[in-house]
Amino acid sequence: MISVIIPYYCNSNPVQTERLLHRAILSASKELRECDSYEIVVVDDGSAFPPQNIQSEFGYNLPIRFFQIPHGCLGAARNYGIERAKGDYIIFLDADDYYFPGKLSVCIDRIKKSHAEVLMYGMKKVTEYAILTLRYTNAKFSGPISGNDFMTRNNLPGSSCSFIIHRSLLNRENLRFRENSFLEDEDFTPRLLHHCKSVIFTQYPVYAYYTREGSIVDKLSKDTAKRIDIAAEIIERLLDFRSSHSEEPHNGLDRKIDTLALDCIRLGLRDDNWRKVTAYAAEKLKALNLYPLSKTNYSLRHTLYRHLLKCNIGIHTLQIIEKSGL
User: What pLDDT digit, counting tens, does each position of 239-264 carry?
Assistant: 999 999 999 999 999 999 999 999 99
Are 70 and 179 in contact, with CB atoms under 8 Å apart? no
Q: Which fold has domain 2-213?
A: Spore Coat Polysaccharide Biosynthesis Protein SpsA; Chain A (3.90.550)
Instruction: Show the CA angle centred on residue 150, arms to residues 147 and 152, nearest 5°.
Output: 110
Q: Residue 49 pLDDT more than 60?
A: yes
Dihedral sign computed on CA atoms, order 206, 82, 181, 157: negative
Are 167 and 89 in contact, with CB atoms under 8 Å apart? yes
Q: From CA 191, how far away is CA 188, in angstroms rounded?
A: 5
Torsion of CA 46, 47, 49, 50, to 10 degrees: -60
**Burial (CB count within 10 angstroms: exposed 0-12, middle 13-18, buried 19+), residue 69:** middle
pLDDT of residue 223: 84
Pairing of the two strands 38-45 and 64-69: parallel
User: What pLDDT digit, counting tens, does each position of 138-190 carry?
Assistant: 789 999 999 999 999 999 988 999 999 999 999 999 999 999 988 899 999 99
Are 274 and 268 in contact, with CB atoms under 8 Å apart? yes
Q: From CA 25, how far away is CA 11, in angstroms rounded?
A: 20
User: What pLDDT digit, counting tens, does each position of 260-278 carry?
Assistant: 999 999 999 999 999 999 9
Q: From CA 144, how far away is CA 119, in angstroms rounded?
A: 9
pLDDT tier, 61 (very low <50, low <70, confident <90, very high otherwise): confident
Are 188 and 181 in contact, with CB atoms under 8 Å apart? no
User: What pLDDT digit, counting tens, does each position of 80-89 carry?
Assistant: 999 999 999 9
Quick one: which of 178, 278, 189 has its CA closest to 228? 278
Q: From CA 249, how far away is CA 210, in angstroms rounded?
A: 35
Q: Residue 305 pLDDT more than 80?
A: yes
Instruction: Show the CA angle centred on residue 107, arms to residues 26 and 148, nearest 5°.
Output: 125
pTM for this entry: 0.92
User: What pLDDT digit, counting tens, does each position of 87-102 carry?
Assistant: 999 999 999 999 999 8
Q: From CA 319, how far away is CA 10, in angstroms rounded?
A: 36
Say how many C-beta atoms besides its own lie within 10 A of residue 130's C-beta: 7
**Domain segments of the chain: what residues?**
2-213, 223-324
End-to-end CA distance of the chain: 42
Q: From CA 238, how far away is CA 232, in angstroms rounded?
A: 10
Instruction: With both helix axes pointing from N to C terminus, report the angle between 184-195 and 73-84 in degrees, rounded to the nearest 10.
Output: 40
Ranking 58-67, 227-236, 308-317 by mean pLDDT, the lowest is: 58-67
Quick one: which of 197, 124, 117 has its CA closest to 157? 124
